[in-house]
Structure 1
Amino acid sequence: MRLSDFAGTWRLTKRLHDRRAGVEGHFEGKARFTPAATGLAYEETGLLSLAGQRPLAAERRYLWREEAGRIAVDYADGRPFHEFDADDPAPLAEHLCAPDHYAVRYDFAGWPEWEAEWTVTGPRKDYLLRCRYSPSAS
């Protein structure tokens, strides 16, 4: 898998299970990978619906780049977030945001549809987030 394979617009759905708060949530939106100076700028926008609350506009931004056969994902301000082996069909990546621990397993086996499953644990957070990406025409 190459970084350029991600370029374009993706339909994005997320399912959230916050074990600590006992809250379920759902996100519907788009993720766009557009050319940037060092790789691809990632921008996701959509609506986050949490049980019993009004939907909220939500967005995230990252920078994706290739580095020594791996894909590195940085925060929008350039700080490192995580990286994964671009040739592994189900790579695992981790990030320590002390005192919490983030682990993500990507699944590219059904490409061009793909998934990212985040498990976040620690004294402040305890949730599972399943993200599904599928090609979008716009």
Structure 2
Amino acid sequence: MFAQSDFAGAWRMTRHIDDRFAKQRGVFVGQAILKRHGETVLHYHEAGQLRLDQGPAMRAERNYIWEFAKGHVDVSFADGRPFHRFVPEGHVAGSDHPCGEDYYTVRYDFTNWPEWQAVWSVTGPRKDYTSYTTYIRISDT
């Protein structure tokens, strides 16, 4: 099982998005920086360029808080609202996240560490997409 120190650092990331509702595909290329904040917390910040179909590239960013507890990681939005939970090992499903009428499910794959993946499936009355994100370590902190 991986610990906080295993994730701390910079990661190159590529995200492919298959948006069936909007009938478009997207690619995000950027970095995720996971900075230590105390003994059990990482601040997650991703930033990069998102391009949908042949449209112009646009800047995209996200921030989360990862809190490591015994046997799992709790992920919260930057404002502290709970998002989901996962076990940092193997090929595992994270907890689901209902958001209004939309429903988010995630599956993590750590079997090729230090490369890892997160696959999100999102469904709802106005959403129907899957995103595939690959993380490759750039540096430790």
Give secondary structure in 2 for the equivalent of 1:136. Answer: strand
Contact 1:3/1:71, CA 8 A, preserved across alignment? no
What 5-or-longer segments of structure 1 have no aligned partner?
Answer: none
What 5-or-longer segments of structure 2 have no aligned partner?
Answer: none
- Tell me the matched-pair count: 137
- TM-score for both structures, normalised by structure 1: 0.94
1:91 alignment partner in structure 2: 92
Identity among equivalent positions (%) equals 45
**1:97-138 alpha-carbon deviations (Å, 9 max, x no partner):** 121110010000000000000000111210010000001149
Letter in 2 for 1:45: A
1:31 alignment partner in structure 2: 32
Runs of 4+ in 1 over 4 A off after TM superposition: none
1:9 alignment partner in structure 2: 10
CA RMSD of aligned residues (A): 1.3
| 1:47 corresponds to 2:35 | no
**1:46-90 alpha-carbon deviations (Å, 9 max, x no partner):** 00011131100000000001123210100001110000123x411
Mapped partners of 1:130, 1:11: distance in 2: 14
- TM-score for both structures, normalised by structure 2: 0.92
